[in-house]
Amino acid sequence: MSELRWNPLLRTWTMVASNRQQRPLMPKDWCPFCPGSGKVPEDYDVYCYNNDFPALTLNPDEPDIEGSELYKVAKNYGKCEVILYSPEHNKTLPSLSVEHIIKLINLWTERFRELSKDDKIKYIFEFENRGEEVGVTMPHPHGQLYAYSFLPLKIKTELDSCKDYYNEKRRCMICDMNREEKEFKKRIIAENDSFISYIPFFTDYPYGVFIVSKSHKGNFTEFDEKEKEDLAMMLKGVTSAFDKLFDRLFPYMMCIHQTPVNCKEYEDSKDYYHFHIEFYPPLRDKNKIKFYASSEMGAWAACNPLSVEETAKLLRDVYER
């Protein structure tokens, strides 16, 4: 059973993908993403791998259930890909060289450009889940890409907020966030010519870093070579600081937010939306989890257990060392 089901309460689609229950437990002495597995090339630096158990597909079947006026159903059209960061099984993003991370950024860019050619695709979401605390069972360094045939609710909410702000003030909200964080200074982690990282005023995770383009650009395809190098340096620096903070592999969800594609409602989003990366790291201390529990999930009423002015100082000190 694989389909999209409409949630009329939240006005968004839920992906149903029961085929993902068929994912096997991988033997400890074998990895499909390592050279020699027969699943990937014998020699690669970074590699795009079609997800074996996708929630979205370019050749969807008809929904298994009939919808109604209230409970609509649709085909689960889209694409799910795995982005392999390295052929080395025990590497992590911060252990890669800047030159290697640039290759990863180029692959993200190429996939964004290629998938955006499909008029049915509305949003391309590149992300990484890292660590057992966020459900990762495959330690080989990798991220994922979902190309949706609809606009995910959180992205739509961000777009609507930025659009309203722009219509009122004629300025980009995220540009103004950068400006305010720079003026306040205490939440900034690092900065280079093209990117700035900070734990924003409002984040619900103690170490919820944003990496934001300093230029008003919407997606990977707009970056020049200098910007890609600066982004690679920032990604390496921030994720290295995460690992050094508690002297352990630091779990996180890394979510890359970019302008939508083939979306008439937001065809002017380049005017008011702005490339940024959001991290959701579940740790609040070395071995303490900040859980997303009833208030957060059931009411969308977030609660941060720590002051981000304090956590930013801790992470910044580690980054600078």
Catalytic site positions: 142
Q: Give the span between the Cα atoms of 88 and 83, in whole angstroms.
A: 14
Partners of 3 in the β-ladder = 16
Q: Give the span between the Cα atoms of 240 and 321, in whole angstroms.
A: 11
55: exposed, middle or buried (Cβ count in 10 Å: 0-12, 13-18, 19+):
middle
Partners of 126 in the β-ladder = 145, 256
86: exposed, middle or buried (Cβ count in 10 Å: 0-12, 13-18, 19+):
buried
First to last CA, the chain: 51
Determine the residue type at 211.
Answer: I
